[in-house]
Amino acid sequence: MAKTGSVKKRQETGTRRAPAQGPALPKALPQVAAAGLVFVAAGTVLMLEILAVRLLAPYVGLTLETTTSIIGAALAGIALGAAIGGYLADRTNTRRLVVGLFILGGVLTLLTVPAVRWLGPSASGEGSLAALGITVVALVPAAVALSAVSPAVAHIQLHDLRASGTVVGRLSAWATAGALVGTFGTGFVIVPLLPASTAVLTVGLTLIAVGIAIGTALGMLTPAITAGMLVLAVGFGALTASAGSPCDRETKYHCAIVEAVPGLPGDYQLILDGGSNSLVNLNDPTDLEYRYTNWIADSVDAEFPGNRPLNGVFVGGGGFSLPRWLEATRPGSHSLGLEVDGDLVSLDEEKLGLRTSPDLEVDVGDARITMLEVPSSSADVVVGDAFSGYSIPWHLTTAEWLDEVRRVLKPNGIYALNIIDNDPLELLEAEARTMLDGFRDVRMITEVGGGGRPIKGNAVLLGTDNPMSASVGSSFSNAVVFKRQEVEAFAGTAAALRDDYAPADQLVTVRR
């Protein structure tokens, strides 16, 4: 009897307690609308990721670690947003959630530029950790809000478990399509056309407008709330616009600034991504301001005495100081500049007095590709000067690249490579080993510290397949010339750089 009573009691209890019920499922959106929402949200995240690289470059440089930090932080924001969006979708009015996520995502996007401009100067020169920190503050919040849209929309659309795979798969496909369009559209269209800050401003305002439009269409926003949202958009948009840009020009590859040098009339400095790239004397192209440019010029004059015309290939244009020097000191010479950044060439023409001609030509494109078009055995001198601050064109440091340089050089030609590194000089050691393996005679020009070891900053490596003249080198700024045996000792056990293993970004040490 006790057992029967117990069963009866449990049955009675069950009739009094109804199972817990979640929020009622919202009416599904039209498929086109659902696809459009996830398409826009996912595409925007990838747009912001690419634009963040451009925004951060003037402060922390453009290195593999910087790009990796930005990609990693963006992925963390996507993962966190997906988790938060799914959690909230089960516990709130999902349609209101989607509206709020778009508006919040737009506001946080508008705050990206002010955050970078505010934090950037204090992080200048601090490398990958600084890039990661700024990205977490500036990019991750917007990525979280926008990445929460997809699970929220999926929650709205899921009304039949028998079709759950189709619904989730379709939305995932549209989100991926949005990410692809955002990636290619930003890289190939938006960055060449708009400054990064203007692009971010446009994206942020568009997201807020989408949120307001959805809310209005669903009858969730009163005129007063809509007016408030518009005021919010204008306010944050003005904050983004007023943050300004540290660049005179945002090119495809650089934040470029041209500044007059105080106390030196006619001297202008070209700054790329926060690092000094070139000093140009508009009144006297023979006046080479930097130590390393003087070292290269002195070496060329020593190897080719007199003032006979030379053919030179200059990998990396910058301010085109050395091509202009060659043109001025050896009339009739021909210089070919290989510069990846066409907008930078235009800036040089507008502000630094660059005048291209049959004697000074510029080929725009990646030097690893454009070098293939340079005739074999055509150059007396090839100058490698593509380093800029923290940016390391690793594919222009390898043994395979040196094979191409040797192809272009005449039998008595010389290759001069500018390297920027700091203690412990691992990149300089690796590149010295690569040059030693590639040329029969190698020299290094640099300044030295205690124990005769090169000090931080610039060093010039010289390579040729013929014995160099004993006078090749320079004493400018107390430079010391290392002969081949001394370069061997300096390189030590460093491994040569090759296309399949050239960790230049990891070897270089950024000046603190």
Model confidence pLDDT, tens digit, residues 150-186: 999 999 998 877 888 999 999 999 999 999 999 999 9
- Give the C-alpha separation, 69 to 52, whole Å: 11
Of 434 and 251, which is predicted with more confidence?
434
Q: Say what the pLDDT of residue 372 is.
A: 95
- Give the C-alpha separation, 345 to 37, whole Å: 41
Q: Say what the pLDDT of residue 264 is.
A: 83
Strands 267-272, 409-421: pairing kind = unpaired
Reported as type and span, the H/E element at residue 489 is: helix 484-491
* Amino acid type, 427: L
Query: Which band of pLDDT confidence, cut at 50, 70 and 90, is reported for residue 285?
Result: very high
Residue 308 burial (CB count, 10 A): 11
Residue 104 burial (CB count, 10 A): 19
Q: Mean pLDDT in the chain?
A: 88
DSSP letter string, 374-406: SPTT-EEEEEE---BTTB--GGGSSHHHHHHHH
Phi and psi angles of residue 384, each rounded to the nearest 5 degrees, phi first? -95, 110
Q: Find how far residue 94's CA is from the centre of its chain.
A: 37
In what order do the strands lie in the sheet containing 275-281?
A: 249-250, 255-260, 267-272, 275-281
* pLDDT per residue as tens digits for the range 443-469: 999 999 877 788 777 899 999 999 999
CB 471 within 8 A of CB 481: no
Of 266 and 373, which is predicted with more confidence?
373
CB 111 within 8 A of CB 45: no
CB 354 within 8 A of CB 345: yes
Q: Say what the pLDDT of residue 327 is.
A: 95
DSSP letter string, 447-466: -B-GGGPBPSEEEEEEEESS
Query: Which band of pLDDT confidence, cut at 50, 70 and 90, is reported for residue 390?
Result: low
Give SS3 for 337.
Answer: strand
- Residue 11 pLDDT exceeds 80: no
Q: Say what the pLDDT of residue 422 is.
A: 85
Among 130-139, 210-219, 328-337, the range of highest mean pLDDT: 328-337
Q: Say what the pLDDT of residue 266 is.
A: 87
Q: Say what the pLDDT of residue 128 is.
A: 63
Q: 């930003």: which residue's tokens?
A: 186
* pLDDT per residue as tens digits for the range 51-84: 988 888 777 766 777 788 889 989 999 999 999 9
Q: Say what the pLDDT of residue 281 is.
A: 92
- Residue 512 pLDDT exceeds 60: no
How large is the average pLDDT for residues 407-415? 97
Q: What dihedral do alpha carbons 358, 364, 370, 376 form, nearest 10°? A: 20
Q: Output DSSP code: residue 357.
A: B
Q: Say what the pLDDT of residue 289 is.
A: 83
CB 491 within 8 A of CB 458: no
Which of the residue ranges 46-55, 171-180, 313-322 would you say has the lowest mean pLDDT?
46-55
- Give the C-alpha separation, 240 to 234, whole Å: 10
As a whole-number percent, the residues of the chain with pLDDT over 70 amount to 92
Reported as type and span, the H/E element at residue 344 is: helix 342-351
Q: 């983004």: which residue's tokens?
A: 240
Q: Find how far residue 459's CA is from the centre of its chain.
A: 25
In what order do the strands lie in the sheet containing 480-482?
A: 360-364, 334-339, 311-315, 379-384, 409-421, 457-464, 441-446, 480-482
Reported as type and span, the H/E element at residue 35 is: helix 31-60
Phi and psi angles of residue 283, each rounded to the nearest 5 degrees, phi first? -90, -20
Q: Say what the pLDDT of residue 18 is.
A: 44
Q: 């399509």: which residue's tokens?
A: 177
- Give the C-alpha separation, 353 to 320, whole Å: 10
- Residue 123 pLDDT exceeds 70: no
How large is the average pLDDT for residues 245-268? 86
Which of the residue ranges 14-23, 190-199, 388-397 would you say has the lowest mean pLDDT?
14-23
345 burial type by CB count under 10 A (0-12 exposed, 13-18 middle, 19+ buried): buried
* pLDDT per residue as tens digits for the range 326-355: 999 999 999 999 999 999 999 999 999 999
Whole-Å CA distances, 173 to 36, 148, 255: 11, 16, 35
- Cα Rg, the chain, nearest whole Å: 30
- Residue 300 pLDDT exceeds 90: yes
- Residue 95 pLDDT exceeds 90: yes
Whole-Å CA distances, 76 to 103, 146, 210: 21, 13, 25
Strands 334-339, 311-315: pairing kind = parallel
Phi and psi angles of residue 388, each rounded to the nearest 5 degrees, phi first? -145, 105
- Residue 489 pLDDT exceeds 70: yes
- Give the C-alpha separation, 348 to 206, whole Å: 35
